[in-house]
Amino acid sequence: MGSEIGMLDTLRASGALKQGHFLLSSGRHSDQYIEKFDLLRQPGATSRACALIAERVSSQAIDVVVGPTTGGVILAFEVARQLGVNAAYAERSGGNETGREFRRGITFAKGARVLVVDDILTTGGSVRETLAALDAHDVDVIGVALLVDRSGGAASVGVPGFSLVSLDIVSWERELCPLCQRGVPLVKPGTTPSKAS
């Protein structure tokens, strides 16, 4: 519970946990949104979040921490750094929207103990793709660690793991959205340009 409170505080302090009226990538609408890059662009906050993961797995003799692109790269690097092990990154397979692979000379020692990390779990797609890419290697996936499970535990990736925060973020089809019915302006996250500094 302490790590969940710590992670919620980190999300709020970094400005990553937002309230409003948001158009999600699924096309559904929600009154909450987590902008992971508001957290990930702050090295101190990201390091603190990764420390919560590293603490939870420090006794598990992990050899490699793996993360899917994009946000998972930053997390895999930092968790691996804190554990004193290597990191690896599962990238999209050559223009393919649904597959991942390990490139750029990444190899795994036979029987390596692997922890998969990712930022926000919604449907579990990027984690499942990363696990599928690991299936091609003789490794032992010991678990999955997430910053936030926004499915409230509903999404399964088929491997034991944990999230620092589990949020059951409600979403609606556009036609049923109470915020639309009240005329609250809709925001599509990621489309607002940064202000000049």
- Span 137-143, average pLDDT: 96
- 195 pLDDT more than 60: no
**pLDDT tens profile 77-93:** 999 999 999 999 999 88
Residues 169, 171: Cα–Cα separation, whole Å: 7
Helix or strand run (H / E) with residue 50: helix 43-57
Residues 31, 89: Cα–Cα separation, whole Å: 32
Type of residue found at 66: V
- 196 pLDDT more than 60: no
CATH for 2-181 is 3.40.50.2020
Q: What is the band of 167 on the pLDDT scale with cuts at 50, 70, 90?
A: confident
Phi, psi of 94 (to 5 degrees): 15, 70
Q: Are strands 100-101 and 86-92 parallel, antiparallel or unpaired?
A: antiparallel
Residues 100, 129: Cα–Cα separation, whole Å: 6
- Residues of the chain above pLDDT 70, percent: 92
Write out the two tokens for 149. Answer: 């499970």
**pLDDT tens profile 34-68:** 999 999 999 999 999 999 999 999 999 999 999 99
* pTM, entire model: 0.85
Burial class (CB in 10 A: 0-12, 13-18, 19+), 42: middle
